[in-house]
Amino acid sequence: MSGTCEVLVLRGPLVESAHDVAVVGVAAGGAVAFATDGAVELPVFLRSAAKPFQAAPAVARGVLDRFGLDDRHLALACASHVATPEHVALAAEILAAAGLDQAALQCGPGDDGRPLAHGCSGNHALGLALCVQEGWPTASYLEASHPLQEAYRSTIAAIAGAVPEEAGDGCGMRAYRIPLRRYAGMFGLLGAAGDGALGRCCAAMRAHPHLVRGAGAIDTELMRAAPGLVAKVGAEATIGIGLRDGRGLAIKARDGAWRALEAAAAHVAWAELEVDVKTPGLLPHAAPVVLDARGEVVGSVETRLELLR
């Protein structure tokens, strides 16, 4: 018996493309409950899925209370946002509360040329607020040896239960690579976190899913469909999902294809976590169609799932 998750793109009844997707689900406590072949120890970069865990040190050190920030700002710090006016305004508020402006951001420009419109601006802004509180230099906050990066590194290692490999991320932060089972375990811990810094990060994401990405995005729509669920995507087509009971799920489209990740995430969430994927926000991910230039349906996207237990 083999475990597979394959996402097929069909034009009419004919297969045009196929994507191999790695899936690992863990029980409370981190024991592997199900997986696809070769997925358990597959090394995967968290990328932006690390953001809820990167936000935790600032929460633990009282940054929100010190600067008068609330859970909306915290949700944005855990986000890869799509630069709505609300997203941009909250990022600016985090910086202003710490006595900074967008010139302090080193995440790069968003689509409109402003750093505040970059999807990682909330993550960087809360990190900068922590630097201000602790008296750490803000100009060098992205250097691998900076105290901010050391705080992030140690937090990721503690929650993952392993020292991650690392390299540069797309926004200048560090990108952490861990086995997919540990990725799933981290989200199981996030979903079950009650009190403490990690619990507050989780609660903020659940309360404000539209701030974590935006309407129509797979992680936002999963949280809207299942209020007890927490989810966060990472670049190159990964997602972590956690539940209140401590179960965790991590998915990686091996070729980095978002269309495969979104379809697989919706399908596995329905099959294994009993998430209702017939909501208006999730149905386009669960049952995607292929359109021609006139908007006519000419194909479909099909997920085939068989898990090892």
pLDDT tens sequence across 231-245:
999 999 999 999 999
> What would you report as the CA-atom Rg of the chain, rounded to the nearest whole angstrom?
19
**Side-chain-side CA neighbours of residue 120 (13 Å):** 23
Residue 292: Cβ within 10 Å count: 10
DSSP bridge partners of 11: 14, 299
| pLDDT average, residue stretch 91-96 | 98
pLDDT tens, position by position, 59-79:
999 999 999 999 999 999 999
The percent of residues in the chain predicted with pLDDT above 90, rounded, is 98
pTM: 0.96
Alpha helices in 38-193 (DSSP H): 51-60, 63-67, 71-77, 85-97, 121-134, 147-160, 180-192
In the chain, the number of structural domains is 1
| pLDDT average, residue stretch 175-199 | 97
Give the range of the structural domain holding residue 157, as residue numbers without chain letter. 4-306
Q: Are 234 and 45 in contact (CB under 8 A)?
A: yes
Q: Which residues contact 276 (CB under 8 A, 6 or more apart)?
A: 225, 226, 270, 282
| CATH number for the domain that contains residue 193 | 3.40.710
Let me know the angle formed at the C-alpha of 29 by 34 and 189, rounded to the nearest 5 degrees: 100
